[in-house]
């Protein structure tokens, strides 16, 4: 079957790239012809001024028109800047079959006509955030006899984020899906209560593959023992947790992050903001003696590679996904915002025999869900 995958833009997000790769690989192994839709909607604006004007427009929609739109101003890189920032991570995209890259979701109407997919799979990651609506509910597909599947779709939060108008439209579109699965257990309830559809709780697609699958597509490097600290929001507490654990274990810290954070309109030397390659990120996980992270996929790969870890939490990016993931494997205690508890966890082993058994069981259930594409 010819399948199109709708997912997050393929950019500099390691987890986003790896989940896109994993889902496509699983479907290809099942005998399907699979292409991932490559919309880089994060670089729509060509100048800082246009981004600022766009932000003012969003403020008007949120506070005057009462739309459920983020009021945050987070300047994105221009197309030219993004090419520089992602020049290393872009190398991994060569492992993913994609459509041509475009910069406006309105192009999906053209994509649907050109590629004539027999089925669409929406997922994974936080594709059901309001910012991706209504495209992530396949509103652009008007042809008959097209299968619609959601695999491990995430709302990003345990509470409903859509306004009344969006909720009504989302429910109408969701009812056209042949099957829906979600990444968090809270998503099952949200689908039932607001979309009025049934949903199955499944594994993140990255967990459908095993470590050997990832190591087989990178340049594997062995390095000296270290702590892999993949921290997206560097608070004082999180930095202190990393340093204290490193001192306790007498290990160096590896971060796999740009030397400096890119801030559009402020950054002077963009070469210091380039993201390391996906190979470096996977090698960081593979070689780690211990992992400290506030990233969902940082947590996923720590579990997948059977590493001892601490999750420092990330309320700004949504806690429901961390709680659901850890609860699935009985690892809720690995999530903490306490330095004392983090240090305690360093000496608390994880029963990976039990965890791996759960992974295998959940894999079978998740792959069974995807078998609907063969019917």
Q: Does residue 319 share a domain with residue 197?
A: no
CA distance 217 to 200: 30
Q: What is the reported pLDDT for 43?
A: 52
Q: Does residue 234 share a domain with residue 197?
A: no
Q: Is residue 55 part of a domain?
A: no
Q: Is 52 exposed, middle or buried (CB count within 10 Å of its CB: 0-12, 13-18, 19+)?
A: middle
Give the CATH number for residue 271.
Answer: 3.40.50
Q: Is residue 51 part of a domain?
A: no
The tens place of each residue's pLDDT in the chain, 375 residues long, gives 999 999 999 989 999 999 999 999 999 999 999 999 998 865 555 566 776 777 788 788 778 877 666 666 666 777 788 889 999 999 999 999 999 998 888 899 999 999 999 999 998 889 999 989 999 999 999 999 999 999 999 998 899 999 999 999 999 999 999 999 999 999 999 999 999 999 999 999 999 999 999 999 999 998 888 999 999 988 899 999 999 999 999 999 999 999 998 877 778 899 999 999 999 999 999 999 999 999 999 999 999 999 999 999 766 666 788 999 999 999 999 999 899 999 999 999 999 999 999 999 999 999 999 999 987
How many CB atoms are closer than 10 A to CB 113?
A: 11
Q: Is residue 63 part of a domain?
A: no
Q: Does residue 253 share a domain with residue 199?
A: no
Range of the domain at 264: 216-358
Query: Token pair for residue 366?
Result: 């998740």
Q: Does residue 299 share a domain with residue 351?
A: yes
SS3 67: coil
Q: Does residue 271 share a domain with residue 135?
A: no
Q: What is the reported pLDDT for 314?
A: 67
Phi/psi for 2 (5° steps) reads: -85, 115
Q: Does residue 318 share a domain with residue 206?
A: no
Q: What is the reported pLDDT for 267?
A: 83
Q: Does residue 170 share a domain with residue 109?
A: yes
Q: Does residue 178 share a domain with residue 306?
A: no
Q: Does residue 171 share a domain with residue 154?
A: yes
Q: What is the pTM of this model?
A: 0.91
Q: Does residue 264 share a domain with residue 247?
A: yes
Q: Is 190 exposed, middle or buried (CB count within 10 Å of its CB: 0-12, 13-18, 19+)?
A: buried
Give the CATH number for residue 185.
Answer: 3.40.50.11720
The residue to which tokens 């400096």 are assigned:
260
Domain count, the chain: 2
Q: Is residue 60 part of a domain?
A: no
Q: Does residue 281 share a domain with residue 334?
A: yes
Q: Is residue 67 part of a domain?
A: no
CA distance 46 to 230: 30
Q: Is residue 251 part of a domain?
A: yes
CA distance 362 to 183: 12
CA-based diameter of the chain, in Å? 61
Query: Token pair for residue 74?
Result: 């987070």
Q: Does residue 235 share a domain with residue 277?
A: yes
How many CB atoms are closer than 10 A to CB 98?
A: 16
Q: Is residue 323 part of a domain?
A: yes
Q: What is the reported pLDDT for 298?
A: 96
Helices and strands in the chain, H and E counts: 13, 10
């Amino acid at each position: 079957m010819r399948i199109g995958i709708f997912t997050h833009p393929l950019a500099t997000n390691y987890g986003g790239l790896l989940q896109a790769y994993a889902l496509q690989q699983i479907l290809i192994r099942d005998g399907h012809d699979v292409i991932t839709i490559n919309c880089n909607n994060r670089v729509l604006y060509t100048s800082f001024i246009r981004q600022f004007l766009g932000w003012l427009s969003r403020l008007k929609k949120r506070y005057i028109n009462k739309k459920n739109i983020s009021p945050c101003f987070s300047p994105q890189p221009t197309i030219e800047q993004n090419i520089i920032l992602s020049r290393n991570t872009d190398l991994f995209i060569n492992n993913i079959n994609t459509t041509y890259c475009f910069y406006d979701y309105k192009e999906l109407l053209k994509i649907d006509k050109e590629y004539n997919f027999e089925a669409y799979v929406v997922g994974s990651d936080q594709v059901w955030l309001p910012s991706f609506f209504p495209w992530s509910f396949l509103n652009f597909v008007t042809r008959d006899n097209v299968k619609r599947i959601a695999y491990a779709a995430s709302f990003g939060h345990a509470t409903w984020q859509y306004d009344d108008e969006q909720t009504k439209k989302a429910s109408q579109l969701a009812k056209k899906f042949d099957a829906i699965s979600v990444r968090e257990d809270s998503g099952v309830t949200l689908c039932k209560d607001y979309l009025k559809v049934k949903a199955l709780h499944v594994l993140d697609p990255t967990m459908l593959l095993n470590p050997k699958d990832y190591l087989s597509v990178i340049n594997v490097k062995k390095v000296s023992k270290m702590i892999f600290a993949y921290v997206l929001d560097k608070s004082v507490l999180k930095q202190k947790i990393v340093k204290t654990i490193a001192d306790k274990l007498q290990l160096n810290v590896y971060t796999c992050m740009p030397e400096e954070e890119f801030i559009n309109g402020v950054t002077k030397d963009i070469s210091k903001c380039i993201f390391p390659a996906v190979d470096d990120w996977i090698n960081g996980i593979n070689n780690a003696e211990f992992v400290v992270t506030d990233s969902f996929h940082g947590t996923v790969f720590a579990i997948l590679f059977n590493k001892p870890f601490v999750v420092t939490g990330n309320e700004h990016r949504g806690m429901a996904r961390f709680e659901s993931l850890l609860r699935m494997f009985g690892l809720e205690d690995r999530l903490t915002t306490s330095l004392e508890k983090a240090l305690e966890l360093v000496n608390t082993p994880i029963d990976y025999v039990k965890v791996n058994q759960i992974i295998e069981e959940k894999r079978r259930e998740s792959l069974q869900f995807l078998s609907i594409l063969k019917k």
